[in-house]
Structure 1
């Protein structure tokens, strides 16, 4: 496997570990994130909250929800870079066949597992989950499995990819990305004005399309050998510090995902172009482990929540100590990593293989036709 693809897998590993740590903190501390800024509105009223709660919110794992942001950036990067690299004409049938067989069969198994073990939340919840539309209303947003909202969002962003290509052909990649960013800022501004406080609105495709498009923009620059970030890595550290400090202001809950997407494309650009440093056997082993976590990241994401809460509560119920909490999180992660090893090889890989075989047979049929869109 090319080194840059291994590095993408490492970044996937980072993304799933961020998400996993975030959900683990929710299991231990409950809803620790601070979204009520009180009378000041613009920044946190520090007198109203315990210092530990504020500090946890500013840590990388406290901001672990941004792991989903990183996943979306990586998705946009890989899909658009892969399309450009193939040099082929965009075919709707081929694109959606690949996306369906990569995502849906393992997702369907997970939906059935959680529906049978924990309940569906009602017919509407089950129907919307099966059609990947449950993220469009708060009634079904967190039912069956709270993590599944981002998978529905991802599917909807796939539907928008042909639109992205049409805009790119007319406007160019830069103006297209800026236009999608302007759409996100506009919709967020309207939501701030009308204050709906609805998850399905705040985490909607118009708001988060830019996150995916930023990854696609990076993918195009990478394909053409162009750099986005050419500064010292110290600037990345500075950017991250500023983003961490933004958690005590109204900026983070409103613009956090958009700002983090900009940070992530700079980080990815630096990491993908960084010369491989001399490393020890231990360093190479950690790199391989992180890459393997990235390979299994979809399965870990599918199956870890909400059973993660029950496992952590079981492991920590007799001993209330932070060391025990940390060991419980590590033990739970090892358990889901082991499960993901089997689901990756038994669900994900066969699903992709079946999809390729079925699509090839369909394309060989005499009557097979598919609409095409030039790049």
Structure 2
């Protein structure tokens, strides 16, 4: 299933462009499309939607071994917990050591490294919250120093819910379980006063994007895995009318009550994308299975861990030179993006790859199972890496 890593790579690039656009101060890049002038800078700001896609992919990849068949034994809870921790924590803790160490250095020497005032007491708290994967619960630390790390805490909390979702899907009707998760998540988000989101953005962020507010996309990804496991290549889609009605209703809800349903609606959109990409003979599947995209997707987690502080530092320097938007864009595309991908790859080799237990997939061509229309292609360990985030 190379398209999974291809999706991860596309989202990673979107995230990098979104943050580069934000921190370099690129206000407008006009392009002529279909007789209209479009500000590409505004389009790039939508790169934050990568979090929706990757929450969905996380649920998909974790649940796939349970539904694909083949007689593979299910892991015990202890085995599951060990594998998840071994997969994500080592490079994550290296990242904490690097940026936490730089923060402590700034607090001690008062030499400006990050664009905020730091004290030793604050950095001790920052390290403690991040070490236990609970920083997404603290408004003072949720987006500090390396902002995208908040989604790793969310991922970790979703990993705790995963066995509950597995058992629920096994015991009860899957549509009913998914609707229940959607209802509970939506009621939780609806209970958050809009005034909190407007007046106190950090508290609003913590409340809105907690595990209770974002569990639907994860559960939806699990449902997509179930659907795909019953959809061999070349055969008719197993989706039923209720699936289309539910998807349309969620998207309509996103238009009607944005702060309640928007993330769920984007989850439905990305679920459709994953299903379309799963068709190896289709244009989306062929594009996302390109070897260069698959390879980038394999080490996208490492790029994600380290990219934002680097972009913020370089972007601040670029913004201070008062360059034109075109010049800034050229530097971002020609220099900054390749540099970040290269640094991320080295980081992957040093701190992530040693903890990936499975062999790297052959990305030179589509696997035999995919080309033959097999029902249960494998998911590599790279594909079970935690989601990227760009908020």
TM-score by length of 1: 0.75
Unaligned runs of 5+ residues in structure 2 are 29-36, 105-119, 359-391
The offset of 1:214, in angstroms, is: 0.8
1:172–1:141 distance in 2 versus 1, CA, 3 Å: same
Residue of structure 2 aligned with 1:349, choices 347, 353, 359? 353
**5 Å matches for 1:221-240?**
221-225=227-231, 227=237
- From 64, 67, 84, give the equivalent of 1:84: 67
Distance 1:285 1:100, change over 3 A: closer
Give deviations 1:140-179, integer Å, cap 9, x for gaps.
2112311100001000000000111121122232221111
Structure 1 segment 321-336 matched on structure 2, within 5 A: 321-330=324-333, 331-336=335-340
Select 2:214's aligned residue among 208, 218, 226: 208
* 1:135/1:149 contact within 8 Å kept: yes
Which SS does the other structure have where 1:305 is aligned?
helix
Q: CA deviation at 1:181?
A: 0.7
Does structure 2 retain, via aligned residues, the 8 Å contact 1:228–1:266? no
Structure 2 distance, partners of 1:345, 1:163, is 34
- Give the match for residue 124 of structure 1: 125
Does residue 314 (structure 1) correspond to residue 320 (structure 2)? The answer is no
1:272, distance to aligned residue in structure 2 (A):
0.7
Q: Are the equivalent residues in 2 in contact too, given 1:76–1:213 (CA < 8 A)?
A: yes
Change (3 A) 1:286 1:317: farther
Does 113-122 or 192-201 show the bigger shift? 192-201
Q: What's 2:270 paired with? A: 264
Please point out which of 56, 61, 85 is paired with 1:73.
Answer: 56
In 2, the alpha carbon distance for the partners of 1:250 and 1:320 equals: 41
Query: What CA distance in whole angstroms lies between the structure 2 residues aligned with 1:285 and 1:269?
Result: 12
Number of residue pairs matched? 314
Give the SS at the match of 2:45. coil
Residue 254 of structure 1, CA deviation: 3.9
Q: Structure 1, unaligned stretches of length 5 or more? A: 33-51, 355-375
Query: What displacement does 1:194 show?
Result: 7.0
Q: Which residue number in structure 1 is paired with residue 83 of structure 2?
A: 98
* 1:137 aligned residue: 138
**Which whole-Å CA distance do the structure 2 matches of 1:344 and 1:309 have between them?**
21
* Alignment RMSD (CA, Å): 3.3
Q: Does 1:148 align with 2:152?
A: no
TM-score normalized by the length of structure 2? 0.72
Distance 1:323 1:230 in 2: 48
